[in-house]
Copies of this chain bind each other. A is one copy, B any other.
Amino acid sequence: MRCLVSVSSGDEYPFERLAEFADDGDPLEVRGDLSHAKVRSGAPSIAARFSDFFAYKNAAEGGGLGEIVTPLVQAPQPLAEFIGIERLLLKNETMNPTWSFKDRGTLPCIWLAAELGETTLATISTGNMGHSVAAYAARHGLRALVFVPDFTPPEKILSMGAHGAVVVRVAAENFGVMKRSVLAHGEAAGLRIVSGNGPHRVEGYKLEAFEMWEQLGGETPDFIAVPTSACGHIRGIHKGWRELFAAGLVAQVPRMIVVQAANNAPLVSGIQQGLDHMVPVEHVETIAEAITSGNPPGGDALVRQARSLGWPAATATEEEIIDGQRRLAHSGYLVEPASAVSVHAVRKLRANGSIAADARVVLMLTGSGLKDPAILQRHSMKIMDVKERDLSAVLKDLVKP
């Protein structure tokens, strides 16, 4: 029997529960019957091959925007050398339908809505998640409702609104207050509203683990670095590997690396200080806009999980984030600042010995650099201005050995 389970108390709740967290505020996760789960090797899509691992009736169908398969590729030498990890892999989630990993988490929302006959997909977001939900809702003929804080940049609202979503801009004290208020009033009104740490979205992120497992030919990375905000993504990737382990498909579960911006590190602070709770941040100011939860619901549980499993945690300063973004772009990958935090964070963990030089480490590239192009102005660039009549001389100069 499928149900939701509190990750802390183990208390069970109905699978269809509207509220995303347990009664005591702890995160929930989906529990299905995995006793006979096996990979259906012949099936034509990843969702179909791993449908046994999902508690949704139509998981095998995937989503209407088509199959998602993102590359997992060895990092170029200069980047690997800078970080100090030879076996450095990049998982490029910017190649999703709406150009961030959020699409993975939206899939179970689509499956659930179909099963329960729900006609609205509602979410709270400052950007990527709202865009993803708006796009999938449009594709599946559902209404999208996206609650955003009133400080959300207008360009982020454009991509949600263009898909036909109803965008509700909420004026509140801060994002944390707004989030809790929207979730509470939504539940009272009988509306399912998904946040970044809801149990159903977490299920979708398992697909990234399953895909990496296929791409590595059944081998396991030692570490997976995940820029973390609401905690759903890191939990989902880990749950995927846990379930592969439970099914006897891998011999070890990789350790996650909790990555945050130094200016907003409630989770990393809790982990590094050896606490059993996060250290909330009141006024978040970081260019890593996609990871700005300063006090995420469920954050305490993530800190406890990270500590009990020995997950390393590290941050990058604003300058380091820009530098990391530049290094990734010079490696071929234009990512949003949040994705770039991992570069310096993992480098520090390598330098202090938390990660061995011969470890196999994956960096999750979570979202496209086109999501926030203005930030690129902070990079130094090589731009020349030339008159057409001078082209001949300029070209000769450019090809000089």
Interface residues of A (CB under 8 A from B): 64-73, 76, 78, 92, 94-99, 120, 131, 135-136, 138-141, 145, 150, 155, 157-159, 161-173, 177-178, 181-182, 185-186, 188-191, 325-326, 329-334, 368-371, 373, 376-377, 379, 381-388, 391-392, 394-396, 398-399
Q: Which of B181, B330, B383, B386 contacts A391 (CB 8 A)?
A: B181
Residues of B within 8 A of A188 (CB): 392, 395
Cα A138 to Cα B140 in complex, Å, equals 38
A395 close to B332 (CB less than 8 A): no
Cα A272 to Cα B72 in complex, Å, equals 46
B382 close to A167 (CB less than 8 A): yes
Assuming A382-B167, A386-B169, is B71 touching A67 (CB within 8 A)? yes
- In whole Å, how far is A400's beta carbon from the nearest beta carbon of chain B? 9
Assuming A155-B373, A164-B330, A332-B97, is B65 touching A386 (CB within 8 A)? no
B370 close to A99 (CB less than 8 A): yes
Quick one: closest B residue to A170, CB to CB?
B386
Cα A157 to Cα B186 in complex, Å, equals 43
Pull 14 A–B residue pairs with CB atoms less than 8 Å apart, ordered by A. Answer: A71-B97, A139-B331, A140-B332, A155-B373, A161-B376, A162-B369, A167-B381, A167-B383, A168-B384, A168-B394, A171-B388, A172-B387, A173-B388, A181-B391
B76 close to A139 (CB less than 8 A): yes
Q: Which of B76, B135, B162, B173 contacts A141 (CB 8 A)?
A: B76
